[in-house]
Structure 1
Amino acid sequence: MPHLSVHALESDLAGRETALIEKLTDAVVAVYGDWARSIAAVQLIGLPPNRWGIGGVPAQAPSPSVTFGIKEAAFSRPDADEIVARLVSGVTDAIVDVVGEHVREGVTVELVGTPVGRTGIGGVVQTS
């Protein structure tokens, strides 16, 4: 299941939650196909000012940061480099479309692969 956790300033999220969830889901679907729409999970985590530090001090205007959890097998595919590039650019574009061009330069997208058997849903380890 594609899972996106987005950390952003609360002021960047306020009133934009629905649009951002829709755009991020669309970015996932653009790469994986429509079958992924119903399983794409998006969590928006808003931080108040001064709760985000860079370089040992509170950041003045940090851009959103995304942790994108996917199956580790995606990195072994012959087209892995293309998939990674499309996911990073699509997620970045989705955030910029909703929050604004001023955040583009600092948007961080980290793709984190989870090995088979290392995720549980409803108390059951997922084996596929």
Structure 2
Amino acid sequence: MPHLSVHVLESDLAGRETALIGKLTDAVVAVYGEWARSTVVVHLIGLPSTRWGIGGAPAQAPSPTVTFGIREAAFSRPDADEIVARLASGVTDAVVDVFGEHVRAGVTVELVGTVAGRTAIGGAVVTT
């Protein structure tokens, strides 16, 4: 199940939540196929401008960052490099579609692999 956590300034996010969730979900579906739509989880984390720092000072107009959690096995597939590139590109394009071209250069997408058996849902470890 793909999990995307997006950190963005609250003032930039307000009113764009539905569009961002939809665009990010569509980006994942474009890579994995329609079957994945119901499994995509998006968490939007809006931060006040005083709570985002870069270089020891409050950030001035930071671009959104996305942490994309997927199964570690995805990185072992023969087509892993292509999948990673398509996910990074698609997620970046989705963020740019919602916030504008001016954020593109700073959008960070970090793909984080979760080892099988290291996630639990409802108290039960998921092994697949």
TM-score band (shorter)? over 0.9
Other-structure match for 1:24: 24
Q: Secondary structure at the match of 2:49?
A: coil
Which structure 1 segments of 5+ residues have no match?
none
Q: Secondary structure at the match of 1:94?
A: helix
Distance 1:19 1:75 in 2: 29
TM (norm. structure 1) is 0.99
Distance 1:101 1:11 in 2: 17
Tell me by how many angstroms 1:12 deviates: 1.4
Q: Which residue identity lines up with residue 13 of structure 2 in the other structure?
A: L
Distance 1:11 1:71 in 2: 32
Give the paired residue count. 128
Distance 2:124 2:32 in 1: 25
Which structure 2 segments of 5+ residues have no match?
none
Q: Secondary structure at the match of 1:50?
A: helix
Other-structure match for 1:101: 101
TM (norm. structure 2) is 0.99
Determine what percentage of the aligned residue pairs are the same residue.
83
> Cα RMSD (Å) of the superposition?
0.4
The runs of at least 4 consecutive aligned structure 1 residues that moved more than 4 Å come to none
Tell me by how many angstroms 1:56 deviates: 0.7
Tell me by how many angstroms 1:50 deviates: 1.4
